[in-house]
Chains A and B, each alone.
Chain A
């Protein structure tokens, strides 16, 4: 009884603290606010949602059954099906879902001010993203670890299955293109960054050879070696930057770097995994976890002040980083930090095969996404502790604020965010860069934010080192996603082509490997190329497209979950997935509608294409712009078609799900539930469960 009272008091205190922190963030106007409040608000929101909402979903909606044997126990083969300690599963699951998306999205969305993005990261996660990951993990666990595509086909029918497959392939292509663009923009005219990123390739190969031939399977030794080499590469880049003869080798504009990334992507896709992909993945996982821990510690220790206002005037759609109003574009832009369809691919397939008990689903599914959302909050803090003038100077493309530094600062200052050329030059010099103007894509701005936080915590003398460490850290797991994504895309394509010509489906037949890898790389390489030659920076086109496609994949996962809930007789509780689904359908459809039909050339694809073709026909474009105009016009039209295709895919699967639900409720035949039969667990508590 006393315990119950104590627990009530503690949870009330957490609720009050969270409400105070959130209220402080939301109602604060015109005064500076401590970043610690963001962390406090976030932790309280996650704690309460985890303790009450997630627990309620687990026990009352999903009816999680700890006595039921999981696929890992029933099908244990010592390889992919292995009952595993829940902390280990949590580690694997989190390492797989955490990518560069939650770092880039909040950085871009900070143009609206800190408030809208922060609120969506918190509430989108606890009501949408965490629920999606948890129910997908649960349903896949009950189906022997089936993938999202298989579940869509079994539970909804062929239309659902094909839509999920197509959406996954397309989102992969857009994702790789936009991530490639982020890396290219971070390396542009920066010998230090370019040489460090280039050095990660031979370092990964050394580690790969070490783990395969020198000391087979000694993962920790190999990783330690790799981490030390990476840190040396960051320091070595600084040395190289001061050698005139060497620095010119790594000083390149965007286009050659884009070609290098494309060539690298193709090589990585056809090389054996042990040489490049697998060892770099180990390194990127340690870098990612280490940096997140270090950043949290530095923010808690330094308590930096957030300088960005709660809301900026750009909520009206006139923002320099990307065009579009607060609604729906803040939701599209935050993307992975709040809800990510991609997670459904990890939560189905890989993770369920490791679960030793169903009761771990809440911690791994819901808790894993809450931690990912926390990373997004940290990226938001890193973006908003910068002077807003500096933030906009780094992130605004030259096509919007002007090519000359004087024009750019005049324009940004006129928005009410004062910044000077001297300030930017000093900052660039401190960070060891030639310039920080128009370094779009989010990575340089995040790196400046992280460097200033680390610098104030661990000493200002190392700012340039911290900046390039942050760039290397972002680049290393962007390149991992790029390799892994290209490879998955290749397998999916080979699988599809195998239906037409069985020989193409053989994943080890070299002509098929070359052809399918070439097609996938050409597809994302095309969007990357366009992004680089686009005078407005490319990110303003590609990121919304990625956001829309990722949210649509999430909508597909939520449709599958809603369909299963209704078919299992849980109509009363189907709102837990149906409400986030409805919200995603609203925001993605609105965003797609605006991207296609808006007459504002900074928002509408077709408006931009027509505007440019009008200018081209009138002959008012300077020659170098006239040369690239036809390509840009074609690309804008292609983007409009692609967006339309995404939305049609979304509506197709949502309507199909509703049809199945209606048939079920009318007692008409529907595809049966594919849940594996109940078997009682015989697993003794072989490991400690604390």
Chain B
């Protein structure tokens, strides 16, 4: 019972982190490890800056 609830809360927390982009860097590291292990990964700060720059190049918000 208690573990069920804990699992649910953990899942909700993971959802919130993914939705907000809080875990974007961890996902980026995982993606690199899986696909481009040979080259060096960006630091957390560099990665965040690049993402923000790219995100706002197109239409991201409506009326």
Contacts and interface: CB of A to CB of B under 8 A. Distances in A.
Given A87-B15, A92-B19, A491-B57, A179 B63 contact: yes
A305 to B, nearest CB: 31
Given A216-B45, A217-B47, A273-B52, A484 B22 contact: no
A159 to B, nearest CB: 22
A515 to B, nearest CB: 19
B19 to A, nearest CB: 5
A100 B63 contact: yes
Given A336-B63, A484-B60, A488-B58, A217 B25 contact: yes
Given A217-B48, A273-B53, A491-B57, A99 B62 contact: yes
Nearest to B16: A220
Contacts of B60: 96, 281, 346, 350, 484
Interface in B5-48: 15-22, 24-25, 27-28, 31-32, 35, 43-45, 47-48
Interface stretch (A337-345, A524-532, A592-600): A337-345
Given A79-B54, A99-B63, A282-B20, 13 more contacts: A87-B15, A212-B45, A219-B21, A219-B24, A220-B17, A220-B22, A274-B52, A278-B56, A281-B60, A343-B62, A481-B61, A484-B56, A488-B58
Interface size class of B (residues with CB under 8 A): 20 to 34
A212 B48 contact: yes
A308 B56 CA distance: 42
B59 interface: yes
A236 B44 CA distance: 35
Contact of A219 (B20, B27, B45, B54): B20
A175 interface: yes
A346 B45 contact: no
Given A216-B45, A278-B56, A96 B19 contact: no
A132 interface: no
A78 B63 contact: no
A218 B22 contact: yes
Contacts of A217: 22, 24-25, 44-45, 47-48
A22 interface: no
A277 B56 contact: yes
A99 B61 contact: yes
Contact of A96 (B15, B21, B53, B62): B62
Given A216-B48, A217-B24, A273-B56, A85 B18 contact: yes
Contacts of B44: 216-217
A212 B22 CA distance: 13
A349 B18 contact: no
A142 interface: no
B61 A281 contact: yes
Interface in A317-359: 335-336, 340, 342-343, 345-346, 349-350
Contacts, number: 111
Contacts of B31: 78, 82
A78 B28 contact: yes
Nearest to A272: B53
Nearest to A97: B62
Contacts of A238: none
A223 interface: yes
Nearest to A286: B20
Contacts of A218: 22
The B interface, classified by DSSP as helix, strand, loop or mixed, is helix
A511 interface: no
Contacts of B49: 212, 216, 274
Contact of B15 (A88, A100, A340, A350): A88
Contacts of B24: 217, 219
B59 A346 contact: yes
A485 interface: yes
Interface in A197-215: 211-213
Contact of B54 (A80, A212, A345): A80
B31 to A, nearest CB: 4
Nearest to A342: B62
9 contacts: A78-B32, A78-B35, A147-B58, A217-B22, A274-B53, A336-B63, A350-B59, A491-B58, A507-B57
A150 interface: no
A116 B43 CA distance: 55
Contacts of B56: 273, 277-278, 484, 487
Contacts of B59: 342, 345-346, 349-350, 484, 488
A91 interface: yes
Given A78-B31, A216-B45, A481 B63 contact: yes
B24 to A, nearest CB: 7
Contacts of A213: 45
Contacts of A273: 52-53, 55-56
A85 B49 CA distance: 24
A328 to B, nearest CB: 19
A273 B61 CA distance: 14
A343 B61 CA distance: 9
Contacts of B57: 491, 507
Contact of B62 (A211, A212, A345): A345
Contacts of A281: 60-61
A194 to B, nearest CB: 23
A562 interface: no
Interface string A235-268: 0000000000000000000000000000000000
A219 B51 CA distance: 12
A365 interface: no
A101 interface: yes
Contacts of B16: 220
Contacts of B22: 217-220
Interface in A480-508: 480-481, 484-485, 487-488, 491, 507
A220 B20 contact: yes
Contacts of B19: 87-88, 91-92
A98 interface: yes
Give the 5 A-B residue pairs with the shortest CB-CB distance, closest first: A78-B31, A216-B45, A217-B48, A101-B63, A484-B61
